[in-house]
C-alpha cells in the first residue's frame, strides 16, 4: 500500500475509480457511480461537501457552517460501493494508473482504472500573493468563519472605542471584485449594518458604515451585462454601497487599500479595517501536478485545458471537471461542475461512448444582491427584484443537501430576511466577549493603546 514511502511505485491497493475532491463536481460523479454499484474511492482534504453559494450567509450570521457543509461521508454512507477517505492527493503516476495521497501523516498509493479530479479553485491574487495576508477571502468554511468573526469584532469595537478615526476605519469595508461573491457580500454587510447592528447597538447608525465595492471592469456582474448589470448597480447604490467601476486595487495593507483609475490616472487611498478579496480564481495545486504529469496545457489561473470529453492530456482514463478546468469558456460555476461530473460518470459507466463531447445545458444564471433583490437570466428571459430573489432562494434551497439543512435554512431565512435575527452572530459574540481592560491575548491595555495593538491582532475566535 505504501509504495510511495519507499520511492518505488509499488501499488498494492487498487479500485475501479478514484475521485479527488468533495465539491460539486466530485459529488455529481460519485452519486452516479454509487447508484450504478461501481466501486470507487473518494479522497478529499476536507470532510465536508461545501455548498459555496451560501457561504456568504455563514459569513453574515444567517446560517451555520454545518448547514452549508454536510459531511461527504454521511451523504455517501448508504452506498456500500463508496469508500470515502480524508486525505490530500499530492501526485499522480499516470503510467502506473495510481495516485499518491497523504493521510494521517503517511503517504499512500492507490491504483485506479479511472481517475476523476475535481479539486476546484482558490482565490487568485494576480501576482500579488501578499494580499492574501491582509485581506479576507470567501472560499472555505474557515474563510467564512474568519470573516464573520472580523465583522463582529469591527462592530463590537466600534461600539466601545472613543477614538473617532479608529471607529470610522472599523466601520469601513472594501470589497474587491464585483462578481457574484463581491456583490452579495457588499449588499449583505450594508444590510447587516442597517437591520442588525444598528438595531442592537444604538450608537451605530447604518450611515456610519461604508461599504466600497471596487471593480476593474466598467460594470458590476460583468458576465450578465446590459439591463441586469445596470439594475444590480442601482440596487447596490440604493442600499448604500459605493460602487467604484473601471478601477484597480493596486495596493493593500492592514489599514487600507489604494485604488487607481487608469482612464483618469487618479489614485486614492481608502482606510478600512476590513478588505475582502473576491477578484478571481486560480486552480488548486493538484491541477498543476496533473498538468505536469500528463502534459496537459493550462490557461491563465492554472486551469487545465481539457479535451471536450474532460480527458486530461494524453490519457483517456484521466478526467478533470469543475473549477480546475476550462472548456469552451463555460462559467466556473456549480452547474458546469455538476454536469461535467455526470458526463464523466456516464463515460466511465459506458452509458455514452468514450470520447463523447460534453454539451452544456444552460439552465440560466442568477445572482443575489441584497434582501428582496436578485437578478436572473433564463434563455432570453431576464428577471430582476423580488421574483428573482425568491427564485434564487428556491433554486439554492433545492440544491442544498439534506432535508434537515433545507428546513433550518428556511427557518433562518424567515428570521433574517423577514425579521432582524442573525442566529449565528450570537455564538460569535459570546466568544468575542473579553474581560474589561483586557485584549483577547489577555494583556491589559488602556483605551488609548488598544487601537493600534488591535490592528495587528488576530480576529477573535468564535465558538
Ligand atoms: C462564495 C462563492 C459563491 C458562489 N456562488 C455561486 C452561485 O451562486 N452559483 C453557482 O453556480 N456557483 C457559485 N459559486 C461557484 C461554485 O461554488 C463552484 O463553481 C463549484 O464549487 C466548483 O465545484 P468543484 O467541484 O470544481 O470544486 P469545489 O466545490 O471547490 O471542490 C473542490 C474540492 O476539492 C478538494 N481538494 C482540493 N485539493 C485537493 C487535493 N489535493 N486532494 C484532495 N482534495 C482536494 C477540496 O477540499 C474540495 O472538497 C460560488 C463560489 C463561491 C466561492
In terms of pLDDT, which residue wins out, 118 or 416?
118
End-to-end CA distance of the chain: 39
Structure confidence at residue 446 (pLDDT): 31
Asked if residue 118 belongs to a domain, the reply is: yes
- Separation CA 270–CA 214 (nearest Å): 11
Residues 6+ apart with CB under 8 A from 327: 306, 308, 310, 336, 340, 358
Higher pLDDT, 448 or 106: 106
Q: Model confidence at 29, in pLDDT bands (50, 70, 90)?
A: very high
Residue 437: how many other CB atoms lie within 10 Å: 11
Does some domain include residue 445?
no
Residues whose CB is less than 8 angstroms from the CB of residue 404 and which lie 6 or more positions away in sequence, other chains included: none
* Dist. CA 68 → ligand 1 center (Å): 12
- 178 pLDDT higher than 70: yes
**Would the CB of 348 count as within 6 Å of ligand 1?**
no
For residue 250, give every residue at least 6 positions away whose Cβ sits within 8 Å of its Cβ, in sequence order, or none: 258, 259, 260, 267
pLDDT of 449 > 70? The answer is no
Supply the CATH number for residue 112's domain: 3.50.50.60
pTM of the model: 0.89
Asked if the model's pLDDT at residue 66 lies above 70, the reply is yes
Instruction: Return the number of other C-beta atoms located less than 10 Å from residue 206's C-beta.
Output: 16
Residue 217 maps to a domain: no
Checking if the pLDDT of 395 tops 50, the result is yes
**Residue 53 belongs to some domain of the structure:** no
Name the residue of 20, 21, 88, 115 to mutate for ligand 1: max ligand atoms within 8 A of Cβ: 21
What's the rounded mean pLDDT across residues 156-172? 96
pLDDT of residue 158 exceeding 90: yes
Extract the C-alpha cell encoding 129: 500573493
Mean pLDDT for the stretch of residues 194-203: 87
What's the mean pLDDT in 127-151?
96
Q: Would you give the DSSP letter of residue 298?
A: B
Determine if ligand 1 sits within 6 Å of the CB of residue 119: yes
What is the per-residue burial (b if ≥16 Cβ within 10 Å, else e) of 341-364? bbbbbbbbbeebeeeeebeeeeee
Instruction: Tell me if 194 is assigned to some domain.
Output: no
Nearest to 27 by CA among 284, 329, 344: 344
Q: How many CB atoms lie within 10 A of CB 14?
A: 15
pLDDT of 120 higher than 80: yes
Q: Name the more confident of 132 and 435.
A: 132
Average pLDDT, the chain: 89
- Please report the beta strands in 306-422, taking only residues with DSSP state E, as ranges in sequence order: 311-312, 315-320, 325-326, 365-370, 373-378, 381-385
- Looking at residue 8, its pLDDT comes to 53
Please, where are the H alpha helices in 239-380? 285-294, 334-348
More confident residue, 378 or 6: 378
The three-state secondary structure class of 195 is helix
Strand-pair category, 172-176 with 274-277 = parallel
- Is 142 one of the catalytic residues? no
Question: What is residue 10's predicted lDDT score, i.e. its pLDDT?
Answer: 67
CA nearest to 41, candidates 25, 29, 23: 29
Cell matching residue 223: 458576465
Instruction: Report pLDDT digits (tens) over 289-327.
Output: 999 999 999 999 999 999 999 999 989 999 999 999 999
Q: Do the domain assignments include residue 307?
A: yes
Report the residue among 120, 181, 343, 393 best suited for mutation to probe ligand 1: largest number of ligand atoms under 8 A from its CB: 120
Select from 62, 45, 60 the least CA-distant residue to 400.
Answer: 62
Please report whether residue 266 resides in a domain.
Answer: no
Residue 326 lies in a domain: yes
Instruction: Tell me: pLDDT of 457 over 80.
Output: no
- Residue 256 gets the label, from left (phi > 0), alpha (psi -120 to 50) or beta, of left
109 neighbors 100 (Cβ within 8 angstroms): yes
Annotated catalytic residue within 184, 191, 215, 273: 184
**Residue 52 in contact with ligand 1 by CB distance below 6 A:** yes
pLDDT digits over 329-385, tens only?
Answer: 999 999 999 999 999 999 999 999 999 999 999 999 999 999 999 999 999 999 999
* Overall domain count for the chain: 1
Could you tell me the residue range of the domain that residue 34 belongs to? Answer: 3-45+87-123+281-348
Amino acid at each position: 500500500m505504501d509504495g510511495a514511502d519507499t520511492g518505488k511505485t509499488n501499488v498494492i491497493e487498487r479500485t475501479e475509480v478514484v475521485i479527488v475532491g468533495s465539491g460539486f463536481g466530485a459529488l455529481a460523479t460519485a452519486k452516479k457511480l454509487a447508484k450504478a454499484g461501481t466501486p470507487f474511492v473518494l479522497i478529499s482534504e476536507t470532510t465536508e461537501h461545501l455548498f459555496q453559494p451560501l457561504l456568504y450567509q455563514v459569513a453574515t450570521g444567517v446560517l451555520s457552517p454545518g448547514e452549508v457543509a454536510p459531511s461527504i461521508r454521511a451523504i455517501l454512507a448508504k452506498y456500500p460501493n463508496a469508500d470515502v477517505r480524508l486525505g490530500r492527493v499530492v501526485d499522480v503516476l499516470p503510467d502506473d494508473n495510481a495516485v499518491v495521497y497523504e493521510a494521517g501523516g503517511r503517504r499512500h498509493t492507490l491504483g485506479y482504472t479511472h481517475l476523476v479530479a475535481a479539486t476546484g479553485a482558490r482565490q487568485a491574487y494576480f501576482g500579488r500573493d501578499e494580499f492574501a495576508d491582509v485581506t479576507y477571502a470567501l472560499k472555505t468554511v474557515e474563510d467564512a468563519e474568519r470573516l464573520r468573526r472580523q465583522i463582529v469584532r469591527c462592530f463590537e469595537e466600534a461600539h466601545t472605542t472613543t477614538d473617532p478615526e479608529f471607529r470610522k476605519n472599523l466601520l469601513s469595508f472594501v470589497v474587491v471584485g464585483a462578481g457574484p461573491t463581491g456583490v452579495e457580500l457588499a449588499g449583505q454587510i450594508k444590510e447587516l449594518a442597517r437591520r442588525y447592528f444598528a438595531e442592537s447597538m444604538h450608537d451605530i447608525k447604518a450611515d456610519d458604515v461604508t461599504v466600497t465595492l471596487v471593480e476593474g471592469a466598467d460594470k458590476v456582474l460583468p458576465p450578465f451585462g446590459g439591463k441586469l448589470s445596470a439594475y444590480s448597480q442601482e440596487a447596490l447604490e440604493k442600499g448604500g454601497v459605493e460602487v467604484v467601476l473601471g478601477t484597480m486595487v493596486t495596493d493593500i495593507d492592514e489599514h487600507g487599500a489604494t485604488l487607481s483609475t487608469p482612464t483618469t490616472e487618479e489614485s486614492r487611498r481608502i482606510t478600512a479595517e476590513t478588505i475582502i478579496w473576491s477578484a478571481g480564481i486560480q486552480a488548486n495545486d493538484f491541477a498543476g501536478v496533473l498538468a505536469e504529469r500528463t502534459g496537459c496545457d493550462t490557461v491563465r489561473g492554472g486551469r487545465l485545458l481539457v479535451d471536450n470529453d474532460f480527458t486530461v492530456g494524453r490519457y483517456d482514463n484521466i478526467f478533470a471537471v469543475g473549477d480546475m478546468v476550462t472548456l469552451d469558456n463555460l462559467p466556473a460555476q456549480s452547474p458546469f461542475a455538476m454536469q461535467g461530473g455526470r458526463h464523466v460518470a456516464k463515460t466511465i459507466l459506458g452509458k455514452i461512448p468514450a470520447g463523447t463531447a460534453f454539451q452544456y445545458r444552460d439552465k440560466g444564471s442568477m445572482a443575489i444582491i441584497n434582501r428582496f433583490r436578485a437578478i436572473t437570466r433564463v434563455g432570453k428571459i431576464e428577471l430582476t427584484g423580488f421574483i428573482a430573489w425568491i427564485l434564487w432562494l428556491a433554486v439554492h434551497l433545492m440544491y442544498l443537501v439534506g432535508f434537515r439543512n433545507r428546513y433550518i435554512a428556511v427557518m433562518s431565512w424567515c428570521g433574517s430576511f423577514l425579521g432582524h435575527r442573525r442566529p449565528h452572530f450570537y455564538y460569535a459574540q459570546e466568544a468575542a466577549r473579553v474581560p474589561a481592560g483586557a485584549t483577547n491575548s489577555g494583556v491589559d491595555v488602556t483605551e488609548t493603546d488598544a487601537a493600534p495593538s488591535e490592528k495587528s491582532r488576530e480576529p477573535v475566535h468564535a465558538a
